[in-house]
Amino acid sequence: MPAKSEASGGGVFDMIAVVLMIVSAVVGAGFATGAELIAFFGASPLPPIVVALFVGLFLFAVMAALVYVPMKFSRKIFAPVFFIFFVAMTAGIAELAGPVAAAVAVVISILIVWFGFEKMLTANKILMGFALVVLLVLVVSSLGGTMARSNLPPNVLGTAGSALLYAGMNCCLLPAIFAEARRTYSRKDLLLSVFVSAVVISFFVFIIMTAINVNNVGSAVMPILALSNNFVVKLAVFICILTSMFATLFNLQTKKKRNLVSIGAFGYALSFLGFTKVISFFYPIVGVVMIGVVIFSLMLAFFRGLRGNCGNSACQHTRGHQGQKGL
């Protein structure tokens, strides 16, 4: 199937749609509120511009690797992880805007994913574009003043290590999205989209970290909302979480579309545990699951390698024996 950008004249708009899809899968509630950036980089002694460069570099490296070397992706293996993310995002919206808003977000997510990948691209292009503009205006208007020195304990991983961990964690939703996108878009288009996405995200890391430090709001639960707590800003944060829910539910979908309804309903019910409880209880399970997946993958690759070597040796022995019989 020819690449979409090569088959039509709308290449630039197509790339923008893919970029916003990637951004929405990478960023979420933690990024939009600034809480995740403070958790990873709040104690860094380096200026925000250096932190942003590390983040952009590692994000591009991880995303480009996912484009060049497609992972053997299994929804069944990672489904519990994605479901926990979905529950956490739903609980985050409930805490931000109430349970009714969370229910609306679940219904919207189900409908968007139900109608397919192209509809999801279109929705992300509109919603994420609006959210990024609002965040940009808010953060830029908050700049000015003296940078506050962080009083957080130093991160044992350092800035580079934290940036690598940040990139790896936030790219976990991308393999399935890239697998779908490769059916329509060329590798060149995807790599260009990945590069632009890394630049966009690293730019926002820079300005958000700078605004948080200048205004000394890093200790707030949601630092961005400490800068401004008006309706438009809350709406932008809501949209960032919502578009991440699209990507998460897209990873959870099965061949039977009606299963999206049961997944959404079950996730919404569990969100009543509360955002803090979901994070504190389920996220350690996510860590254990991911470690288990890595160990299992390494063992599987090792034993497959051994079996492949044994198979080659047996094959060569059999061929040699048959050759001698023919003589």
31-65 pLDDT per residue, tens: 777 777 887 787 677 888 998 999 999 889 888 88
Any domain includes 278? no
Examine the domain organization and report whether 96 and 211 are in the same domain.
yes
Determine the structural domain holding residue 289 and report its residue range.
285-327
Examine the domain organization and report whether 159 and 37 are in the same domain.
yes
Structural contact between residues 245 and 86, judged by C-beta atoms closer than 8 angstroms: yes
| pLDDT for residue 198 | 93
Q: pLDDT above 90 covers what percent of the chain?
A: 11
| Among candidate residues 273, 300, 316, the one where a domain is terminated | 273
pLDDT digit string (tens) for 214-272?
888 877 777 888 888 788 888 888 888 888 888 888 888 877 888 899 999 998 998 88
Examine the domain organization and report whether 327 and 205 are in the same domain.
no
Comparison of pLDDT for 277 and 323, the residue scoring more = 277
Examine the domain organization and report whether 20 and 134 are in the same domain.
yes
Instruction: Specify the pTM.
Output: 0.73
Examine the domain organization and report whether 251 and 322 are in the same domain.
no
How many separate domains does the chain show? 2
The two tokens of residue 43 are 């104690």
What is the C-alpha to C-alpha distance for residues 102 and 99, in angstroms, rounded to an integer?
A: 5
pLDDT at 3 over 60: no
Examine the domain organization and report whether 201 and 313 are in the same domain.
no
Residue type, 31: F
Examine the domain organization and report whether 249 and 306 are in the same domain.
no
The two tokens of residue 249 are 């539910």
Task: For 258-278, give the DSSP string.
Answer: THHHHHHHHHHHHGGG-HHHH
pLDDT digit string (tens) for 108-151?
999 999 988 888 888 888 888 888 888 888 888 877 655 445 44
pLDDT at 1 over 60: no
Any domain includes 279? no
